[in-house]
Structure 1
Amino acid sequence: MPDTPADVSAQDLVVAIDGPSGSGKSTVARRVAAALGLRYLDTGAMYRAVTWWALEQGVDLADTERVAQLARELPLELGTDPAAPTVAVAGTDIAAAIRTSRISAAVSAIATNLGVRAELVARQQAVAREGGVVIEGRDITTVVAPDAPVRVLLTADERVRLSRRALEVHGSDDETAVDATRDQVVRRDADDATVASFHEAADGVDVVDSSLLSLDETVDAVLKLVEARSGVRA
């Protein structure tokens, strides 16, 4: 960690957060953005939105060219208020629809489509260039915002991540719920790892392991990194 932070204003600050499924990056990123008065961008929601749009139109997700074209045409509207982020396509609110098991089971086919990735990364980079934002997802610290003054890999033990996702999806983290969640988490990470890097920190990326941390402690750890790297305080 540098002895002196970069000279960055809050309005120009970009905080890039990567991490595997269940690492808590969405919740942590929203809390960090709210604490700093920044916008929040959930890049995973963008891939889920393309998935929803393709399925709604009856497009075969294996038709990579057609799906990539859909991504380029996607009339996506993202609200970046961390207190109430929104996702809409062609004016239709799909924030709840993209979190269903139907979308979760299909989104890897979209996330590993290189044509889709190229389009969505370009949109994400446009947001990053505006500054004043916390961006979370996959490849954020290395591809979307490699020059961000604050780059964090948020990780956790696999069993912890499975437990968190089971609680989120099933309301329980007993063995049955964890087993029901395992494929979604482990398979999704394995699929996405073929086109994105989010398990190992690149040079200059700080690691926060939240396995033994509460949500508040994890948020505090990231905020301390933000201050150390950029000088911006909550």
Structure 2
Amino acid sequence: MAEKARTGRLVVAVDGPSGSGKSTVSRRLATALDASYLDTGAMYRAVTWAVLRCGIDPQDAGAVAKAAEEVELTIGVDPAAPHFAADDVPVDQEIRGPEVTAAVSAVSAVPEVRRLMVNRQREVIAAAERIVVEGRDIGAVVAPDADLKVYLTASAEARAQRRSAEYAADVVATAADLARRDRLDSTRTTSPLQQAPDAIVLDTTELGIDEVVHRLRELLDGPVAP
């Protein structure tokens, strides 16, 4: 795999729950590999934003599916400046807000939404020569033939601490929300949060971002200088 890590087509799948560090790790890894970067979770958040903007109940699967089919997503895959727009409206800040966060698991659980998004994700992957893709079902569903599949995890406490620091939120409330999302994401019928059988599991609880990126580069390219 070492030669592929330097040149040629390359797909890296990074999965894991919220707060495991996958977004920051994936962006830094993509930059190091001169690759594109796709945050699939942001795609579901953008659809959720569109659903809420239309006043649709996230539990109304039919209406949610219709909104997902009609919304036009613009996806920027530069790891230095990833961006999303829904119907030409920039939504990078809006999709990280509490309303979207509270509703995204319900929207993501709609089978038609997942079918539409997985198809779009595969289109983005196919169009890129080299790409790092992060999400919850990339190695198992979206890109089962990825050159490297990694499942990042961390303790519940570490994940809550990281996410609360990121959003300046209460740690206890953040931990409860992460537990809720884990439960919903892991038990949904279509493409649940899951570790691909051949994925490499990496616990990031005691690791810094640079250490995690370093380890992934070692997996791709053999030992690299510190």
Query: Same fold by TM-score, threshold 0.5 exceeded?
Result: yes
- Aligned residue for 2:150, secondary structure, equals strand
Task: Establish whether residue 50 from structure 1 lines up as the match of residue 50 from structure 2.
Answer: no
- Aligned residue for 2:48, secondary structure, equals helix
- The one-character-per-residue Cα deviations of 1:129-150 (angstroms, maximum 9, x if unpaired) are 2341100001000100000111
Deviation of the 1:61 alpha carbon: 1.4
- Aligned residue for 2:187, secondary structure, equals coil
Runs of 4 or more off by more than 6 Å in structure 1? none
Compute the TM-score of the two structures, normalised by the length of structure 2: 0.92
Matches within 5 A, 1:162-177: 162-170=160-168, 177=170
Residue pair 1:104, 1:184 contacting (<8 A) in 2 also: no
Deviation of the 1:6 alpha carbon: 7.2
- The one-character-per-residue Cα deviations of 1:117-174 (angstroms, maximum 9, x if unpaired) are 1110111111222341100001000100000111100111111111101111116xxx
- Aligned residue for 1:40, secondary structure, equals strand
Q: Could you tell me which of 224, 229, 232 is aligned with 2:218?
A: 224
- Go from structure 1 to structure 2 and tell me whether the alpha carbon gap of 1:168 and 1:157 turns closer, same or farther (over 3 Å shift): same
Greater mean alpha carbon deviation, residues 99-108 or residues 178-187: 178-187
- Aligned residue for 1:87, secondary structure, equals strand
Matches within 5 A, 1:52-131: 52-130=49-127, 131=129
Q: How many percent identity over aligned positions?
A: 45
Deviation of the 1:198 alpha carbon: 3.7
Q: Which residue of 2 aligns with 1:17?
A: 14
Determine the C-alpha separation between the residues in 1 that align with 2:192 and 2:90.
Answer: 30
Matches within 5 A, 1:176-195: 177-195=170-188
Determine the C-alpha separation between the residues in 2 that align with 1:166 and 1:66.
Answer: 32
Gaps of 5+ in 2: none
Greater mean alpha carbon deviation, residues 95-104 or residues 63-72: 63-72
Amino acid at match of 1:105: A
- Go from structure 1 to structure 2 and tell me whether the alpha carbon gap of 1:75 and 1:83 turns closer, same or farther (over 3 Å shift): same
Residue pair 1:11, 1:38 contacting (<8 A) in 2 also: no
- Number of residue pairs matched? 221
